[in-house]
Structure 1
Amino acid sequence: MKKLILIAFTVLISITGYGQKYDLKFKDVKELQQFMVWTPSRYPLVSCHRGGPVPGFPENAIETFANSVKLHPSIIECDASLTKDSMLVMMHDDRLERTSNSTGLVKEKSLEELKQVLLKDNEGSLTTFHIPTLDEVLVWGKDKVIFTLDVKRGVPYKKMIEAVRRNKAESYSIIITYSATQAGEVYQLAPDLMISASIRTVADLERLNQLGIPNNRIVAFVGTSEPEKEVYDYLHAKGIWCILGTMGNLDKRAVVQGDGFYAKLVDNGADILSSDRAAQSAAELQKYAKEKGLKTNKLVSSKK
């Protein structure tokens, strides 16, 4: 067990000219699998919903991901959509109006057309950033983050997995699924990859196991409201990390009650907070980890 814990927490911290930057680095997919085996000393993580957009940094942009990495060892949740010419680009919405200076459906645009588009931040301000492809994102993310990759409507899991394989990104990619059927499909296509599966009850995990999916391939998304403590305890006993979606109501409660609310969520059993307030939740998780004495086996800082 001691050896497992030592392997599990391999976090490289470096100092860049842009301030402190946190990198998550795994040498292969087995090391990621070992990292994702839950232990009581696990280091809680932030999942930056849609990459962690803030003013000046739009959703699903590489520049936004890089900004988020400065805050905390991070998981980057991002969304892949399919273009007219069957290329995977990073976009949450079916349409372009909300997040860019273009109009129309993503699926009706070619990659060449989309590369001319500029992204808007969530306040509607135009940036100089462009829509990246999934390939570009996976190349950028190596030795920096863990991705949770969401497929939007019409995107085949097979195509997503091909991109992960093509870029040798198995050691830092988790595929998001929303049903046992989808999780089973991903496992059949890529039995070595980690899967984010929706699990709200004991029966949900049992269904995944019946499909042959082992617990050491599963990260549990327990929903956007806290599950019963018994669910947390059961999943942890199986070695499974729990992602709690704070985007929406729980983030709003943190605004009202104070950001210390995030630490309470982790104390209750959450291991990863998927938040629209990545900076605020990250700051609280850093304080929480320090107070609890949670450390990685490698905590290296260097100055250039």
Structure 2
Amino acid sequence: MLSIGCFRSNSASDLTTVSNHNQVFNFQDVEDLYRFLTYSEKRVPLVSAHRGGPDIGYPENALETFQRIAYKTPAIIECDIALTKDSVLVLMHDETVDRTTTGKGRVRNHTYQELKSLYLKDKAGDVTNFRIPTLEETLSWGIGKVIFTLDVKREVPYHMVIDAIRNTKAEAYSVIITYSADQAAVVHNLAPDLMISASIKSTEDLLRLNDRDVPDTRLVAFVGTSEVDRQVTDLLHQHGILCILGTIGNLDRQAKQNGDQVYADYIENGADILSTDRPLQAAKALDFYIRKRDLSSPYIN
């Protein structure tokens, strides 16, 4: 049975060096990922750590932050991909490095060597000892530990992200985020084997994807950041598609105010994955939900 208590809890000092152990997910190949991300009534709900789960002492889009989450709960890590001046893919949400690092200026105006000299800041703006990771080192670290949903920022070519996934053999642990049926079709045409997160908030959204020959078996659905429309989630579940609910913002605030059991209510009402800025609190609530219903997966240690 899945339990947060089965995973190590580490202090900040234990995480100053990113480790290469802590196997969480058991995917032999991408077919296992398809099976795991196909809806069934016995599916195990998961948290998706928005921007990797930043906290005090742990910056967004940092390997050390990802490791902190992975040690505590099976998780999806949502991270953001930007492109440097010399065409290196790095993790960065903003167009500039001002907010999250000790540097200044646009990411695309810096070489990777220049970015390597910067330090990341945590959510309070305090400087940490952590650095900006590349996409490839992130994917290499994450195999077996997490599932990545990769948010590809503007001006980053999809084919470069796909090449990074291929180079690191991370197909079984990677999902590419798209925001329109056209984007999803581009990704599927470039890499028919990869999983795609698509924005699906209505029947029409699903039909548009079907019209562009993006198969249901390659999709997880982002259903928005407000209470789930049960008709939509029921339809998606009939197609075998898991639903990601973005609790970032208002729904996270509701959980903080009304009690973290609200996260389990979101699952009960049709969500399967919660994209949250409070991943550890949400995971604790989902752990109780999982235990109560005796849910498990052969793909989770």
TM range (shorter): over 0.9
- Aligned mates of 1:78, 1:93 — CA distance in 2: 12
In the TM superposition, what is the alpha-carbon distance from 1:227 to its structure 2 partner? 3.0
Greater than 4 Å deviation, 4+ residue runs: 13-17
Which residue does 1:248 correspond to in 2? 249
In the TM superposition, what is the alpha-carbon distance from 1:297 to its structure 2 partner? 3.3
Give the 3 Å change call, closer, same or farther, for CA 67–198 of structure 1 in structure 2: same
Instruction: Please give the per-residue CA displacement for 1:210-243, whole angstroms capped at 9, x wherever unaligned.
Output: 1111101000000111231110100001100000
Number of residue pairs matched? 291
Which residue does 1:4 correspond to in 2? none
Q: Is the Cα–Cα contact under 8 Å of residues 22 and 73 in structure 1 kept in the other structure?
A: no
Listed as ranges, the matches of 1:163-182 within 5 Å are 163-182=164-183
In the TM superposition, what is the alpha-carbon distance from 1:256 to its structure 2 partner? 1.1
Which residue does 1:32 correspond to in 2? 33
Report the secondary structure of 1:126's partner residue. coil
TM-score, normalised with respect to structure 2: 0.93
Which residue does 1:212 correspond to in 2? 213
Opposite residue 178 of structure 1, the aligned amino acid is: Y
- Aligned mates of 2:130, 2:43 — CA distance in 1: 35
Which residue does 1:185 correspond to in 2? 186
Q: Is the Cα–Cα contact under 8 Å of residues 22 and 70 in structure 1 kept in the other structure?
A: no
Residue 119 (1) aligns with residue 120 (2): yes
- Aligned mates of 2:86, 2:48 — CA distance in 1: 30
In the alignment, structure 2 segments of 5+ residues that lack a partner are 12-21
Opposite residue 258 of structure 2, the aligned amino acid is: Q
- Aligned mates of 2:219, 2:299 — CA distance in 1: 25
Q: Is the Cα–Cα contact under 8 Å of residues 2 and 290 in structure 2 kept in the other structure?
A: no
Q: Is the Cα–Cα contact under 8 Å of residues 102 and 119 in structure 2 kept in the other structure?
A: yes
Q: Is the Cα–Cα contact under 8 Å of residues 221 and 242 in structure 1 kept in the other structure?
A: yes
TM-score, normalised with respect to structure 1: 0.92
Which residue does 2:88 correspond to in 1? 87
- Aligned mates of 1:138, 1:76 — CA distance in 2: 11
Stretch deviating more after TM superposition (27-36 or 126-135)? 27-36
Which residue does 2:199 correspond to in 1? 198
Q: What is the CA RMSD across the aligned residues, in angstroms? A: 2.0
Q: Is the Cα–Cα contact under 8 Å of residues 198 and 220 in structure 1 kept in the other structure?
A: yes
Which residue does 1:52 correspond to in 2? 53
Opposite residue 214 of structure 1, the aligned amino acid is: P
In the alignment, structure 1 segments of 5+ residues that lack a partner are 1-8
Percent of matched pairs sharing the same residue: 52
Instruction: Please give the per-residue CA displacement for 1:259-297, whole angstroms capped at 9, x wherever unaligned.
Output: 111010000010000000011001000011111111223
Stretch deviating more after TM superposition (44-53 or 226-235)? 226-235
Give the 3 Å change call, closer, same or farther, for CA 248–298 of structure 1 in structure 2: closer
Which residue does 2:16 correspond to in 1? none
- Aligned mates of 1:224, 1:248 — CA distance in 2: 8
- Aligned mates of 2:188, 2:287 — CA distance in 1: 33
Report the secondary structure of 1:24's partner residue. coil
In the TM superposition, what is the alpha-carbon distance from 1:25 to its structure 2 partner? 2.5
Which residue does 1:140 correspond to in 2? 141
Which residue does 2:297 correspond to in 1? 296
Opposite residue 90 of structure 1, the aligned amino acid is: L
Opposite residue 110 of structure 2, the aligned amino acid is: K
Which residue does 1:6 correspond to in 2? none
Q: Is the Cα–Cα contact under 8 Å of residues 24 and 74 in structure 1 kept in the other structure?
A: no
Opposite residue 224 of structure 1, the aligned amino acid is: T
